[in-house]
Amino acid sequence: MEKMFINRLTLIGLKKNYSVTFKRGLNYISGPTSTGKSTIAELINYALGSEKHKDYIEVRQSCTDVELEIEIGSKIYKIIRPLFDFDRPVKLFHYKEDEQQFSKDFDLLPVESPANESSLSRFLLNELGFFDIKVVNQTFSFRDIYKFCYLKQTEIDSEDLMKEKNWGPSIKRKPTFEILFNIFDSLLSELKAKIKEQTELIADLEKRKQGVSEFLKNLKLLDLDNYLEKKKEFENRISEKKTALYKLKSDAKQNDVLPGGELEDSIFERRSDIEKYSKEISEHTQYVEKLFLLRNQYQSELGKIEFLLEGSVSLNRYDFEICPSCLNELYPHETGCELCGNNLRSLSEVEQKVYKSESTRLKLRFKKLSTFIDEQNEQIRKLQQKRNEAEIKLHDDEDTLNHLRMEYISPYLEEIEKLNLELGESRNQLKDLDRTLKVIQEFNAMLAKLDTENSLLEKLKKRAKEIEANDIDKDTIVDRVSEVYEGVLKEFDFPKLSNAYIGIKDYLPYVRGRKYDNIGSLGSVTMLTMAYYLSVLIVGIEDQNNHPGLLIIDTPRKNLGADPNQDEEQFKDEIIYNSIIRYFIQLDLDKGDQMQLIIINNGYPEFLSEKHVVAKFDGNGSKGIPYGLIDDLNEI
In sequence order, what are the beta bridge partners of 11? 18, 66
pLDDT of residue 39: 94
DSSP per-residue codes, 486-527: HHHHHHTT-TT--S-EE-TTT--EEETTEEGGGSS-HHHHHH
Chain segment 561-608, per-residue pLDDT in tens: 654 444 455 555 688 999 999 999 999 999 999 999 999 999 899 999
pLDDT of residue 498: 93
pLDDT of residue 491: 95
DSSP 182: T
pLDDT of residue 455: 82
The 8 Å CB, 24+ separation contacts for 400-409 are: 400/260, 400/263, 401/260, 401/263, 401/264, 401/267, 404/259, 404/260, 404/263, 405/258, 405/259, 405/260, 408/258, 408/259
pLDDT of residue 410: 59
DSSP 570: G
Amino acid in position 504: I
pTM (2 decimals)? Answer: 0.67
Radius of gyration of the chain (CA): 31
pLDDT of residue 440: 72
CB 481 within 8 A of CB 503: no
d(CA 597, CA 162): 19
The 3-class SS string of 396-420 reads: HHHHHHHHHHCCCCCCCHHHHHHHH
SS3 6: strand
CA nearest to 505, candidates 190, 173, 139:
173
pLDDT of residue 411: 59
CB 284 within 8 A of CB 379: yes
Chain segment 15-59, per-residue pLDDT in tens: 889 999 999 999 999 998 888 899 999 999 999 999 889 888 888
Instruction: Provide the CATH number for the domain formed by 1-126+602-630 in this structure.
Output: 3.40.50
Contacts of 112 (CB under 8 A, 6+ apart): 119, 121, 361, 362, 365
Kindly give the parts of the chain with pLDDT less than 50: 563-567, 636
pLDDT of residue 567: 46
